[in-house]
Structure 1
C-alpha cells in the first residue's frame, strides 16, 4: 500500500485527536455552552451561565421524549433558538425507534461540517485503495418528506448524497451512478447498481454498503437475477421491467454488447456452491465494507461464506444523535472490532449504569451524548463494553441497544414491544378454544432476508391439547399478520421493501418450554431464579424448540407502512 499524503494527514489527525482527547472534549463543551447557553431550553436550568460545572450540576439527563415538544415546535415553524442557536436546515429521521414514527433530529451547518471531517478521517485507513479502482457500494436513497414549516425530513444517507461534494465524488469513487441510487424502486435500483458493478468487475476494489444485511440482500438478488443480468450484458438490451427513466437512461449509456464477459459471469454464478462468490466475481476487491458489529454480528458467518476470505470491515460507529467512533484496526474480526471515540464530534460522558442489581462503571457503560449542535444531555440507551484506550481516548465495543431483543435491519423491537404485539394477536385464539401458554422469539438470519420467528405453546381451554391434529390455518396466519401490523414503523417499512421477510410463527408441542428450562438449568442457571427468555439466541436452545414444532405459519401479507 502506497503511503500517500492523505494517509499521512489522516494518521496525524488521529494522533492529535486521541492524544489530546480531554482538552478537545473540554473545548467542545465550552463551545457548546458559549453558543447555546441563552436558548429557551437551557435558560430554564443555567440562566445563560456558560460555566461547565454549572451545566453538569443543573442540566438533567433526558430522553428524546422530553425534548420532542421543542423539536415539534421548530418543525411546525417556530425559530430554532428555542432549542439551539444555529438555524435548523433539515431534520434527519432516526431508525432507533422500536415503535411509532422515527425521531426527528435537527440538523445544522455544524452537522454538515462534522460529517465532512468524519469522512475525511475514514479515508486514511486504507491508504490509496480508492485510487486503484472503484467501490461497488450499494446505496439506496429515500425521497423523504417535509415538515409543516417546509424543512426536509430525510435519512442521514439521503442528506449526505444530496450534498454537492458527495454528488460530484460519486462518479469517481463508485460503480453505481447517482441515478440508480436515487431510484424509488428498490428492485430496479439494485438491478441497475449490480449491472455496472458486474460490467466493471475488474475495477472493483471493495464491495460495500451500510450494513451486512444489505450486502447479503444483494447476494440473494444476484442469485435470482444473474441470468437476466448476463443477458443484458450479452446483448446490451436492458430488461423491459426497468422502467425508471433515470435508471434506464444511465445503464443504457453504460452497457455495451459483451458476450465474453456475460459467459464468464454466468459460469461463475452457475456453480453448485456460492461459497466465495464475492471474491470470484470481483477478484481485485480487497475487502467487504459493511457493519457487522452489534445486532449485525448475527450475519457475519453467512457473509464470510460468500466473501471467500475477504476481510469484513466495520469502519465506524454512527448513531442518530452523533458520530461516535472510528475503527482504527479495520482488519479485525467482526467479534473483535472496537471503535475509538472521536473527541471532536460530540461531548461524551459515561455515567455508571445499573444492570442486574449492580452498578457497572468500567466494563460496560451507557453513553450520554451532548450534541455539538444541540446542547441537551440525551441518554442514548446503548450498552457498550470498554475496550481499552488508543493514546488517551477510550475505545468501545458495541454490545446491544438497551431493551432491544429483535433486530434485522434498522428495526428495533424491545421486550415490551414483543409483549404488546403478542397480546394483540392472541385475542384471535378465543374461537379456537386455546390460550397462549408461553412464547419466545429469535431472529432467523439463515436465509436472506432474515425474519422474526415467534414460538407459541398453546393450551386447550378444555380437553387434551395433544389430541389436536390440525389448527385453523386462517386464524393462525391472521395471528401472524396481527403481530406484524402491531410492530413499529421501521419494521413495517422494511417489510414493505422486502428487506425483512414474513414473520413466522412456530406452534410447539406441550412441554417444550419445560425442556428449554431443563437445558438452561443444565448449563448452570438456578431453577428457582430461571426466567423464560423473551428472545433466545443460543443455537442449542433454538434447536430444542425447533425439534418440538408441530405447525408453522407465516404472515400472508405485508403490513401497512403507516397505521
Structure 2
C-alpha cells in the first residue's frame, strides 16, 4: 500500500499525489479491505463480525466509538496481554496524546509498519513544498524539535508522544539527507531529554549557522513562540558562547554538548557574528527579528490552524512578513492530510486527506445557534432533532459535501475501528476526487456555567474581535486561556491574557487603560453565542466576564506545569480551557490586573453573525 518514491524527485512525488487523490474511492476500498482481511480474527472485531471481513457487514455491525470505549483493550495490551486483542500485527509501542485538549493523555496503538507509513507521509510533503518554494536544497532548516522521556508500561511497551517515537526511530536518525530534512540542530540536541538544554543548544546552532538557514519553524506555533521568548531571555549568553567558541558550562548533557561544541569548532569563535546578533537583539523592538537574525529565511513552518490561529498576529510581528506555512494535519491516532497550497494565508489553509493513510468516515455535525440548530446544509430545526441515529449517518471520504461540517471517524491499520478523533472539519473543496478540509475545532472543548456551551472555536472568534480593540494601542495578545469560575453565584467566565507591547521593554501593566480593558471584556461577551448572551442578559445565570492580565512568563509557568504532569514539550498546546485547580493557581499568582465587563451584552434569539464562517 506504500509505493516507493524518491522525495527529491519532485515530478514523481507530484504524480504520486495526483494518483492518490484521483483514485481516492478505489484506494479507500482497498484500505478497508486490507484492514478487515488482516484483523478479522482479532478479539475486538470477532465480537462484531464473527471472523468475516465483509465491508458492508463492517459498516452495519461495527459501532462508532470514542476513546473510553477502546481504552480497556489498550490497557490490557499495556498490561501484558497479546496484540491480537485489537491488531493482528504486533503492537510495538503506545503513542500518547498531548493531554491538553481533553484531560489525561490517551494511549494509541502503533506498529512497525505504522512508522513506515508516517515516513511515507513526511516524504509526500517534500514535492509539495518544492513546487512552491525554490532552492530549498541550497540551505538548512532551523527547526526546533523536542522529545519527551518514555514511560514503560507493565508489558514492557514504551508509551511516548508520536513525535518522540518518530525522532528516536531509525526512520529519522538514518534518514536520507534530502533537502527537506537537513537541520541546523544536530540529532543529539533534538534527542536531549532536558528541554531547556535542548532549546538552548538548538538556538545556538541555529544562530551560528544563520547564513545557511532558509526556513525556520517548530511543530506548533506555540512552541516556536516559546523559543523566541527563550531567545529574549538568553541572547546575551548565546552571544557570549559564539564570541568565545565554547558552550556554557551548564550544558551538561554530554552528547548534546559534544555535538554543539563540534559546530562551534567548525565555525570558530566569531566576534563579528556575536556583535551582529547583540545589536539586533538589544534594539527597542523585536518586530521582524526572524528576518534580521536569519536573513535568507523563506518562511516560518508551524501549525497555525485550530487553536494555534490566535498566534498568527504575534508570528507576523516577529516574522516581519514571512509566510506562515502549515504543511500537515496529523494526530497521535493517525496522520491525515497535507496542505497542497503551503503558501496560502493561514485563514485559507485546507488539508487534503491522503486516502492511503487510513479508512476515513465522517459524522455530519449539527451546529447549535441559540435555541435552534443549524445543520451542515444551512437548514434550521428545533433543538430536539439532535443526536438522531447518528451511527447510520456516516459518510465516506468521497461522499462529503462542500461547505458541510463533519466529525472525523477513522479506522486505522493499527487497531482503531470507527474511532471518533474528536476533530470538527469543514469541507472547503476537492483536489481531484479527494476532499479538502479546514480544521474548525476540537469537539467538546467548552466553557459552561449554566446551559451555555462555548466551544474552542467560539472563544477564539470572540477573543479575536476583542484583540482589535487593543491593537491600535500597540498591544499584542501573546497567550490566553480560560476557565469557568463557579466559586461565586452566579459563576462567570475568566480569561487569562498575557500581553506584550510592540516596544519590547515597555511595562505592560503601567500602560493598561481600565476603560479599554473593560471594553475588551464587553467585546468578548458580544461575540459569544446567543445562549451565553441570553444567560447573561435575560436569565442572569452568568456573571460579567473577567479578564485577568498575567505578567510576562505566566504561560511559560503553565507549560512547565503541564509538562511535569505528562504533556510533551514538542506537542504542547496551550489549553484554551483549564480545569486543574493547580494550573489556575499558577496563573492567578501571576495576575497583575483584573477587569470586568461593565455592559450587559445584547441578546436576540437568532443572530446570523454567530454562524457565518
Separation in 2 of the partners of 1:326 and 1:495? 23
Stretches of structure 1 lacking an aligned partner (at least 5 in a row): 407-411, 427-434, 449-454, 456-479, 534-563
* Cα offset, 1:240, TM superposition: 2.4
Mapping of residues 424-443 of structure 1, within 5 Å = 426=487, 435-442=488-495
SS in 1 for 2:146: coil
Does the CA contact (< 8 Å) of 1:403 and 1:414 recur in 2?
no
Q: Which residue of 1 aligns with 2:506?
A: none
Q: Which residue of 1 aligns with 2:170?
A: 164
Separation in 1 of the partners of 2:340 and 2:413? 23
Q: Which residue of 1 aligns with 2:18?
A: 15
Does the CA contact (< 8 Å) of 1:438 and 1:513 recur in 2?
no
Q: Which deviations, in whole Å up to 9, do the C-alpha atoms of 1:40-60 show, x marking residues without a partner?
A: 111111111111110001110
Q: Which deviations, in whole Å up to 9, do the C-alpha atoms of 1:19-42 show, x marking residues without a partner?
A: 110111011011111111111111
When structure 1 is superposed on structure 2, of 276-285 and 248-257 the one drifting more is: 248-257
Mapping of residues 83-482 of structure 1, within 5 Å = 83-96=86-99, 98=101, 100-127=103-130, 129-169=135-175, 173-255=182-264, 256-356=268-368, 357-360=373-376, 362=401, 363-405=404-446, 422-423=485-486, 426=487, 435-442=488-495, 444=497, 446=499
Matched residues, number: 473
1:503 aligns with 2:581: no
Does the CA contact (< 8 Å) of 1:11 and 1:124 recur in 2?
yes
TM (normalized to structure 1)? 0.77
Does the CA contact (< 8 Å) of 1:405 and 1:414 recur in 2?
no
Does the CA contact (< 8 Å) of 1:315 and 1:326 recur in 2?
yes
SS in 1 for 2:491: strand
Q: Which residue of 2 aligns with 1:49?
A: 52
Does the CA contact (< 8 Å) of 2:152 and 2:159 recur in 1?
yes
Separation in 1 of the partners of 2:413 and 2:75? 20
SS in 2 for 1:135: strand
Does the CA contact (< 8 Å) of 2:168 and 2:191 recur in 1?
no
* Cα offset, 1:355, TM superposition: 2.3
* Cα offset, 1:414, TM superposition: 11
Q: Which residue of 2 aligns with 1:473?
A: none
SS in 2 for 1:196: helix
Give the 3 Å change call, closer, same or farther, for CA 231–355 of structure 1 in structure 2. Answer: same
* Cα offset, 1:490, TM superposition: 6.4
* Cα offset, 1:354, TM superposition: 2.7
SS in 2 for 1:397: strand
Separation in 1 of the partners of 2:199 and 2:562? 23
Stretches of structure 2 lacking an aligned partner (at least 5 in a row): 1-5, 378-400, 448-454, 459-480, 502-520, 522-553, 575-582
SS in 1 for 2:274: helix
Give the 3 Å change call, closer, same or farther, for CA 490–263 of structure 1 in structure 2. Answer: closer
Does the CA contact (< 8 Å) of 2:217 and 2:302 recur in 1?
yes
Separation in 2 of the partners of 1:4 and 1:101? 37
* Cα offset, 1:269, TM superposition: 1.4
